[in-house]
């Protein structure tokens, strides 16, 4: 992870480097593949579509402008995924594998509608996936005690005093650990989930 205050999205927009693209693909390809597989896309097609979505993002990220609306990037990515899925289904029309086209069309229409329950599910699962992966990526940048304090309070939902007693730290040290990790998480997720 870059130790700068620039988020992943900003790094990709300003001057993408190999490490930033690898991080982006590691972050998003599994999410997209899993979503596609959930909606009757064959495994190989899901792999290919995830690559197509990544290609569209590579080509379009410099032109993407966050409109300061919550979920702007997430919505752009969802729309890009839907568009690539539409291309696949158009090319498959008339083939034996393309049965259930009306179900697929309804699902795609729901995904495009930001107010549909399916879009809200995408948003929720997107944010959970991104935050979970980012936590995995930033963990090695913290001392073990800092991470354990953060995890105890933030993830496990324990009281700071309980975590402090378990770890032999002061309550203040536990709260500072939580604050440091959350600051880094906000920095890395800026633009991706907000």
Are 155 and 101 found together in one domain? no
Q: How many CA atoms lie within 13 A of 151 on its CB side?
A: 14
The 10s digit of each residue's pLDDT in 3-42 is: 333 577 778 887 778 888 888 888 899 999 988 887 767 8
Segment 80-87 mean pLDDT = 88
Tokens of 164: 């402090």
pLDDT for position 93:
65
Q: Read out DSSP for 34-98?
A: HHHHHTT--HHHHHHHHHHHHHHHHHHGGG----SSTTHHHHHHHHHHHHHHHHHHHHHTTSGGG
Are 82 and 16 found together in one domain? yes
Asked whether the predicted pLDDT for residue 123 surpasses 60, the reply is yes
Are 79 and 160 found together in one domain? no
Q: What is the percent of the chain where pLDDT is above 90?
A: 32
Are 158 and 70 found together in one domain? no
Does 82 fall in a domain?
Answer: yes
* 142: DSSP letter: S
Are 122 and 58 found together in one domain? yes
Asked whether the predicted pLDDT for residue 193 surpasses 80, the reply is no
pLDDT for position 5:
38
Are 133 and 51 found together in one domain? yes
Asked whether the predicted pLDDT for residue 97 surpasses 70, the reply is no
The 10s digit of each residue's pLDDT in 144-169 is: 999 999 999 999 999 999 999 999 99
Q: Residue 166's domain spans which residues?
A: 143-194
Are 177 and 194 found together in one domain? yes
Of 45-49, 82-86, 102-106, 148-152, where does mean pLDDT reach its minimum?
Answer: 102-106
């Amino acid at each position: 992870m870059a130790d700068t205050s620039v988020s992943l999205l900003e790094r990709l927009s300003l001057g993408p480097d190999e490490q930033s693209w690898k991080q982006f693909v590691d972050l998003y390809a599994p999410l997209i593949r899993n979503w596609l597989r959930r909606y009757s896309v064959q495994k190989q097609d899901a792999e290919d579509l995830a690559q197509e979505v990544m290609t569209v993002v590579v080509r379009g990220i410099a032109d993407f402008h966050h409109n300061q609306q919550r979920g702007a990037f997430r919505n752009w990515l969802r729309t890009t995924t839907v568009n690539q899925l539409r291309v696949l289904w158009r090319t498959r029309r008339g083939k034996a594998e393309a049965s259930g086209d009306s179900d697929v069309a309804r699902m795609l229409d729901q995904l495009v509608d930001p107010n549909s329950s399916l879009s809200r599910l995408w948003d929720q699962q997107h944010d959970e996936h991104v935050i979970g992966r980012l936590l995995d990526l930033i963990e090695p940048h913290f001392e073990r005690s800092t991470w354990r304090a953060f995890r105890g309070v933030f993830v496990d939902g324990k009281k700071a005093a309980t975590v402090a007693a378990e770890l032999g730290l002061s309550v203040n040290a536990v709260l500072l650990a939580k604050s440091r990790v959350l600051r880094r998480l906000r920095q890395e997720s800026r633009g991706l989930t907000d």
